[in-house]
Chains A and B, each alone.
Chain A
Amino acid sequence: MTEPAVATRSVVVERELPHPPETIWRALTQGPLLEEWLMKNDFQPVVGHTFNFRAEPVPGWNGVVNCQVLVVEPYQRLSYTWNSSGDEAEGGLRTVVTWTLTPVEGGVLVRMEQSGFRAEDEHAHRGASYGWPRFFTALEQVSARLD
């Protein structure tokens, strides 16, 4: 068995949260709670379930994420695919989001890893509604080089 030799990268965010694993698990897996902090969704904690996350579209992103549940290990691990949708699906993102909960003193270490970013997912600049000012500053610098 050989894996395709494609280098991918991950975005990792982790935080210690002073709450019981049961509470955190509910926030990660109950649709209405998930909507409060992440996005509108039709998520169900069932392996194989396909669902969408939906946010307001912004320039460069249609706001809809295609997902399928991969792993449900209550209070420990949750994983789903996180792929581009619609017109953006072809050649778009094909990533996996994995949540890992590790008990620590006084709470839980919550780790989110979004893996599978390929070189072509990484362009020179930031976009969408996040970081427009930085985007334009950088743009001017690059533009100066292009001219």
Chain B
Amino acid sequence: MPAIAPDEVFRGLADPTRRAIFERLSRDGEQTVGALTERAGISQPAVSKHLGVLKGAGLVRDRRDGRQTYYRVDPRGLAPLVDWMTFYGTFWRDRFDRLETLLKRMDQ
């Protein structure tokens, strides 16, 4: 799989409508274009076009089943954007909080 540059992923998520579609797929799982259109407030061809851009940016994948095309989030799609230093900075501070809570229980 060719590496996708962060810029492409940014472009993919730059549009608010596209971002809403991506968030819907992240939250609710795999869906058809029709189901996405019902809640997107724009036409089906417009939704399809946005999905095409998301797919090109490696953010979603599609799967045909009969006449329906299902879309889902590609969990690796955001990898080019993940800043591991920031991620782990937040992660470890959060885990230190949990460690403190555990230690208090252990001392009781």
Q: How far is the CA of A136 from the CA of B83 in the complex (A)?
A: 14
Q: How far is the CA of A128 from the CA of B83 in the complex (A)?
A: 9
Q: How far is the CA of A136 from the CA of B90 in the complex (A)?
A: 17
Q: How far is the CA of A87 from the CA of B79 in the complex (A)?
A: 11
Interface residues of B in 66-107 (CB under 8 A from A): 73, 75-96, 98-103, 106-107
B38 contacts A by Cβ under 8 Å: no
Query: How close is B9's CB to chain A, nearest CB, in angstroms?
Result: 9
Q: Choose among A23, A33, A121, A126 the residue with the greatest number of B CB atoms under 10 Å from its CB.
A: A126
Whether the pair A123, B95 counts as a contact (CB closer than 8 A) is: no
Whether the pair B99, A27 counts as a contact (CB closer than 8 A) is: yes
Whether the pair A27, B106 counts as a contact (CB closer than 8 A) is: yes
Whether the pair B6, A59 counts as a contact (CB closer than 8 A) is: no
Whether the pair B102, A36 counts as a contact (CB closer than 8 A) is: yes
Q: How far is the CA of A89 from the CA of B14 in the complex (A)?
A: 28
Query: How close is A29's CB to chain B, nearest CB, in angstroms?
Result: 12
Q: How many interface residues does B have (CB within 8 Å)?
A: 39
Query: How close is B85's CB to chain A, nearest CB, in angstroms?
Result: 5
Interface string of B44-80 (1 = CB under 8 A from A): 0000000000000000000000000000010111111
The 10 closest A-B CB pairs, nearest first, are A143-B14, A127-B82, A60-B78, A37-B98, A60-B82, A13-B92, A59-B78, A37-B99, A125-B81, A130-B90
Q: Could you write out 29 A-B pairs with CB less than 8 Å apart?
A: A9-B85, A11-B89, A11-B92, A19-B103, A19-B106, A27-B102, A27-B106, A33-B102, A37-B99, A59-B75, A60-B76, A61-B87, A62-B76, A110-B99, A114-B88, A117-B85, A121-B84, A123-B6, A123-B81, A124-B83, A125-B81, A126-B90, A127-B82, A130-B87, A136-B19, A139-B14, A142-B10, A146-B11, A147-B14
B interface residues with partner A (beta carbon < 8 Å): 6-7, 10-11, 13-14, 19, 26, 73, 75-96, 98-103, 106-107
